[in-house]
């Protein structure tokens, strides 16, 4: 089974951002992150998801993963 580390998760995010930049033409890393977050909000609106709730859940996942890896 693949051991998933926070470095692995960061690599997945980078691959996602690479695809996003290729599609949108956004050129800087920070702009790509900001634009993707905005587009995820649009996605949530279009699909009836509460972005703030999901963002909070994502924050909890992040905190758990950081703490878990430090142990």
Domain locations in the chain as residue ranges: 27-71
How does the average pLDDT of the chain come out, rounded?
Answer: 96
Q: What is the DSSP string of 2-71?
A: PPP-HHHHHHHHHHHHHHHHHHH---SHHHHHHHHHHHHHHHHHHHT--HHHHHHHHHHHHHHHHHHHH-
pTM, entire model: 0.88
What whole-number distance in Å separates Cα of residue 56 and Cα of residue 51?
9
- The predicted-structure confidence for 50-68, as pLDDT tens digits, reads as follows 999 999 999 999 999 999 9
- The predicted-structure confidence for 28-37, as pLDDT tens digits, reads as follows 999 999 999 9
Judging by beta carbons within 10 Å of its beta carbon (0-12, 13-18, 19+), is residue 51 exposed, middle or buried? middle
């Amino acid at each position: 089974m693949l051991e998933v580390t926070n470095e692995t998760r960061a690599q997945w995010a980078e691959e996602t951002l690479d695809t996003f930049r290729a599609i949108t033409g956004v050129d800087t890393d920070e702009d790509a992150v900001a634009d993707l977050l905005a587009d995820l909000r649009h996605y949530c609106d279009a699909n009836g998801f509460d972005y703030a709730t999901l963002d909070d859940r994502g924050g909890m996942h992040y905190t758990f993963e950081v703490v878990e890896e430090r142990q």
